[in-house]
Structure 1
Amino acid sequence: MVRFKNRWLLVELLPVPAPLPGRAPTGQPQEGLTSKQIWAALKQSIITHFGDTGWGAVGSSLTIKYFSPRTNLCIIRVAREPHKIAWAGVALMTAIDGRRYVPHVVHVSGTIKQAQLAAIRHNREIVARYRARAKLPAGYQDSYEEYLQTSAQEIEALQD
């Protein structure tokens, strides 16, 4: 029996503050993203840029395994053979549900464990940047410590 081999893409979705042309900005904050919206936008991006053949290669194996609306960090599973089509589809995505985002592929791995470790490492780097920008002392306790612990537990709980 042959094992089904995957690639795991760790993607950070960076929001663009300017609204799309033709849409007036509203004073109300927009609701957060969901993994379903990301999957639909990724599907549309792949169909637009690679056609039905590209979607046929990727579609059966493409899943969003993890998404954090707080950090806009996402883990995507795709089959090993067509993973470059999915990667390109992510890179070419411009909007999700009418809101503009810049996707940043942080890490690509062959196992979910390595994607989890990269996500935890990435979260720690982001928190370190926030702390450096705020010029806080090294021993300062803030709400980020609790967030790092809960996010690490959440990410480590993922199963293949």
Structure 2
Amino acid sequence: MGKCQNRWLLVEFIPCTTPGPGSTNASGGQTSSAALGAGDAELNSKQIWSALKQSVITHFGDTGWGAVGASLNIKYYSPRTNMCIIRVARDHHRIAWASVTLLSSIEGQRYIPNVVHVAGTIKQAQLAAIQHNREVIARYRALARTPAGYQDSFHEYLDKSTQEIEALRD
């Protein structure tokens, strides 16, 4: 038998925030700071792992946790992009996937977990994360009607998030 086979879940945790004064929806032109990862309390890997553990136990019991607990690892989380890469053993990755999907809050803050990609290697997860970030920024630019060559704050945002993701190692 060779190396342990893993699956890598690329998850975006979209914060559910109530719009504050001065912010309007996307069609109104202004973007809320929460949409770009600037929530009130900054989430971290440890909080995500704890919430995920509780979700597995709640929905799949101790047997479910026994199946995924030893291999479950939050490999990467960026508060800037709200993107997370979770490693779990291949044989039981569907338990982790379902548990992520069933999460509704972490540390009292409501989130919508969006499983963007499931990969067989961390490199595939990294490439999917970079591509996802580019697509999100393209949507923001389209809403703002920004010309393609325009150097905006999103350019620096993309560069930083890409550097963070590429720095990951298995």
**TM-score for the superposition, normalised by structure 1:** 0.91
From 128, 142, 148, the counterpart of 1:118: 128
In 2: Cα distance, 1:150 partner to 1:16 partner: 24
Distance 2:83 2:124 in 1: 15
Structure 1: runs of 5 or more not aligned: 19-28
Q: How far did 1:140 drift?
A: 0.7
Over 4 Å off, 4+ runs: none
Give 1:85's aligned residue.
95
Alpha-carbon distance, 1:70 to partner:
1.3
The aligned counterpart of 1:23 is none
Aligned-residue sequence identity (percent) comes to 70
SS at structure 1 position matched to 2:42: coil
Q: Secondary structure at the match of 1:71?
A: coil
Q: Does 1:76 align with 2:86?
A: yes
Distance 1:139 1:152 in 2: 19
Matches within 5 A, 1:141-152: 141-152=151-162
1:30-109 equivalences under 5 Å are: 30-109=40-119
- For 2:168 and 2:131, locate their aligned partners in 1 and report how far apart those are by CA, in whole Å: 16
Q: Distance in 2 between matches of 1:121 and 1:2?
A: 31
Structure 2 stretches of 5 or more lacking a match?
A: 19-38
Separation (CA, whole Å) in 1 of partners of 2:144 and 2:156: 18
Q: Which residue of 2 aligns with 1:8?
A: 8
Number of equivalences: 150
Aligned to 1:129: 139
